[in-house]
Structure 1
Amino acid sequence: MTVALLKRCLPLLLLFPGLLLAPAAFADLPGIPAFTVQPGENGTEEYSVTLQILALMTALTFLPAMLMMMTSFTRIIVVFAILRQALGLQATPSNQILLGLALFLSIFIMKPVLEEANRVGLQPYMQEEVTSLEAVELASQPFRRFMLEQTRESDLALFMRIADVQYETPEDVSFWVLMPAFVTSELKTAFQIGFILFIPFLIIDMVVASVLMAMGMMMLSPIIISLPFKIMLFVLVDGWALIMGTLAASYGI
């Protein structure tokens, strides 16, 4: 019994000295600089790669908010939602299809902005010509110009008044003031486009309801009768192409 127990414990006994000597063996190895900050030119600071990766992973959590607050995604998805409501279709197209369509249409509209941000910000950083903070500042300029072009002056003045700040030129406007003003303008434009889309389908509903009431068929839901006519009208006028073209043209594309 004792001999069998010793045979089982022998490998552990052989490893035990190695475990004791391991810390001493690794003590002479150079450590990994996890958190370092190096002073740069003009009073700037350059952070270690570990800190940059940490900041990047943290920024990725804000990617959905940035997608809605700094691109054309908000206007597109609101128009699609109003269109589906006007057609009387509660779940067709599904939310996944509308979100995917809005996402790729946003990429198509934002392509010039993304290419410029890549050219002036990302590529110089990849070539180590600018620091990470400078790259972020340079890459944000195309988005700032895009948002300023799509923001109404009244909305911008509203949030400047709320924040109790004044700016001499539009280029001096802070992102914290520009982003909510931009989203407010996007919502206004989306509801204006949605109102125009709603009118022809509303007329069809009124005509069908009037006909059914004149025929004495008040117990029959007008939505059931008007739905095929609305779908047929939407298909005949090539509605999806018209909406895509209208949304792209609203950004000057």
Structure 2
Amino acid sequence: MRIVLGLTVLAVLPALLMCVTSFLRTIIVLSMLRHAIGMPETPPNPVLIGLALFLTLFTMAPALTQVSEKAFQPFMNGTIGMEAAYQRGAEPLREFMVRQTREQDLALMIELSKAKPPRSMDDVSNVQLIPAFMLSELRAAFQIGFVIFLPFLLIDLIVSSVLMALGMMMMPPTTVALPLKILMFILVDGWTLVLRALVGSFH
């Protein structure tokens, strides 16, 4: 039974990672950063996914620790059953998702599901909470991505204006702007700023 459960968890692990953890916001922000710089394929996808996975472990460490202590280890020791392990393991993840989910997004999912208004968060099912959490994560990721895009957009505008003023209209602005954006990103220690802001955006 434990082997079947383990194989099932491995099969649905990518979906769980995407739907109930901070991975969604993290990978979107990193992807938008890559596009803002102007290098759609650098860093490569495996590098971004690996970095996003470790950042997810950092931000989800308290919740994952509770899942291990309250659900996984007791179940593996045979002290609790599968249903009890599921309920105990879901509680820390639900608490994390509730903290990140906006009330408007949760109200939208409850409205779309045509369910009765819940009296408390305990009455909100995972079917309603998880898509609301994902919607809030998408919103937060796009807000962070918009802020990231602004300085790079400013460099593009300045380079385009300078090239037009010099009469160099045949030269693509990206040829000049890309090295300048990379240089600026290095000088301000951009990776540190982005990762610190990204991890700090979770509460």
1:199 lines up with 2:155 in the alignment: no
Pick aligned residue for 1:234 from 166, 185, 194? 185
Aligned equivalent of 1:183: 134
Corresponding residue of 2:59: 109
Report the 3-state secondary structure (helix = DSSP H, G, I; strand = E; otherwise coil) of the residue aligned with 1:61: helix
Matched, 1:218 2:174: no
Q: Which residue of 1 aligns with 2:196?
A: 245
2:73 to 123, 126, 131: 123
Which 4+ runs in 1 deviate beyond 6 A? Answer: none
* Alignment-derived partner of residue 12 in structure 2: 62
- Please tell me whether residue 100 in structure 1 is matched to residue 50 in structure 2: yes
Distance in 2 separating the partners of 1:235 and 1:247 = 18
User: Residue 144 of structure 1 aligns to which amino acid in structure 2?
Assistant: R
Structure 1 CA distance for aligned equivalents of residues 98 and 118 of structure 2: 13
SS at match of 1:74: helix
Cα displacement string for residues 87-121 of structure 1 (whole angstroms, at most 9, x for unaligned residues): 00121100110011001110111111100111111
Structure 2: 5+ residue runs without aligned partners?
Answer: none
Give the CA deviation at 1:82: 0.6
- How far apart are residue 122 of structure 1 and its match? 1.4
Higher percent of residues as helix: 2
Per-residue deviation at 1:217? 0.5
Instruction: Write the distance in 2 (CA, Å) between the matches of 1:78 and 1:71.
Output: 13
Moved more, 123-132 or 64-73: 123-132
Q: TM-score if structure 1 supplies the norm length? A: 0.78
SS at match of 1:168: coil
Q: Say which SS state the counterpart of residue 118 (structure 2) adopts.
A: coil
Greater RCO (Cα-Cα under 8 Å, separation 6 or more):
2
Structure 2: distance between partners of 1:138 and 1:98:
32
User: How far apart are residue 136 of structure 1 and its match?
Assistant: 1.3
Q: Specify the code of the residue in structure 2 equivalent to 1:171.
A: D
How big is each residue's C-alpha offset from its partner over 1:51-77, in whole Å with a ceiling of 9 and x where there is no partner? x43243223211111000000000010
Structure 1, 132-141 or 149-158: larger mean CA deviation: 132-141
Instruction: State the distance in 1 between where 2:35 and 2:63 align.
Output: 32
RMSD in angstroms over aligned alpha carbons? 1.0
**Identity over aligned residues, as a percent?**
47
Q: Deviations over 1:133-188 (max 9, x none)?
A: 11111011000000000000000000000001121101221111111110000000
Q: Which residues of structure 1 form unaligned runs of 5+?
A: 1-48
Of 146, 151, 156, 2:101 maps to 151
